[in-house]
Amino acid sequence: MKTFIVFGCGRFGSTVATRLYDLKNDVVVVDSDHEKIDLINDNVTEAVVCDLEDEKAVGELALNNYDVAIVAIGESLEPAIMAVLASKEAGIKKVIAKATSDKFGKILLKCGADKIIFPERDIGYRLANNLSNDNLLDSDEISKGYSFYDFKASPKMNGKGLTELGLREDYNFNILMVKRNGENYVNPSSNFKIKEEDILTVVGSDKDIKRFIEEN
């Protein structure tokens, strides 16, 4: 069981916190808004009212006890900076911060955040990808220009092995799993035969994967 501290319990922060708690993790949520804390109190390990600009109050959070800090304060820069700085100074190894703009994200990185996420941008990215092709079911960016994709096998792919499709050789991406009739085939061999309606989970560059989907 990991220990998480989540700063900010707006829509994003509360969603992350309650899901982590549902997954049997120890989760403490911090926010300056009493009403928000009251709403989430029963769905996390502990919910604490704290003004992040109050050094004494932050010191009482015992931040050195946590494995991961999630800074979900996207509206105000100063509290977000304080949360990142306090977390890193306490020795928390992984600090993930939400940002609403590139400038906001760069500032938090300079303050010590290990990873910046842009929830609205990421959702827009996924939606645009999913709408652009009928066979594309889902996508998730892992770094700039590279993503995980789930897409449905087309009739043109029916009965062909992975080598014949040229996934690695011609398109430079790897297939991680094939889902078929409720079964998952993880890391399928090169001679694995694809059937129409299979769901393929792959990872690679956006350019190569989109080219493959368009050509098949």
Residue indicated by tokens 């827009």: 124
Cite the DSSP H helix spans in 135-205.
Answer: 162-165
- Kindly report the pTM of this predicted structure: 0.64
Per-residue pLDDT at 121:
72
* Torsions phi, psi for 2 (to 5 deg): -90, 160
Per-residue pLDDT at 118:
84
Per-residue pLDDT at 120:
73
The angle formed by the CA atoms of residues 179, 207 and 130, to the nearest 5 degrees, is: 50
**d(C-alpha 137, C-alpha 168), whole Å:** 21
- pLDDT greater than 60 at residue 100: yes
Mean pLDDT of 67-80: 88
At 143, the pLDDT band (50, 70, 90 cuts) reads low
At 64, the pLDDT band (50, 70, 90 cuts) reads very high
- Angle formed by the axes of helices 102-110 and 77-89, nearest 10°: 30
3-state secondary structure 57-96: HHHCCCHHHCCEEEECCCCCHHHHHHHHHHHHHCCCCEEE
Give every CB contact of residue 78 below 8 A, 6+ residues apart in sequence: 53
2 DSSP 8-state letter: -
At 182, the pLDDT band (50, 70, 90 cuts) reads confident
Q: Contacts by 112-119 with C-beta closer than 8 Å and gap 24+? A: 112/84, 112/85, 112/87, 112/88, 113/71, 113/84, 119/12, 119/74
Tokens in use for 84?
Answer: 């990142």
Pair 216, 210: CB distance under 8 Å: no
Residues in the chain: 216
Mean pLDDT of 10-17: 90
Q: Model confidence over 195-210: pLDDT tens digits?
A: 988 988 888 888 887 7
Q: How many CB atoms lie within 10 A of CB 214?
A: 10
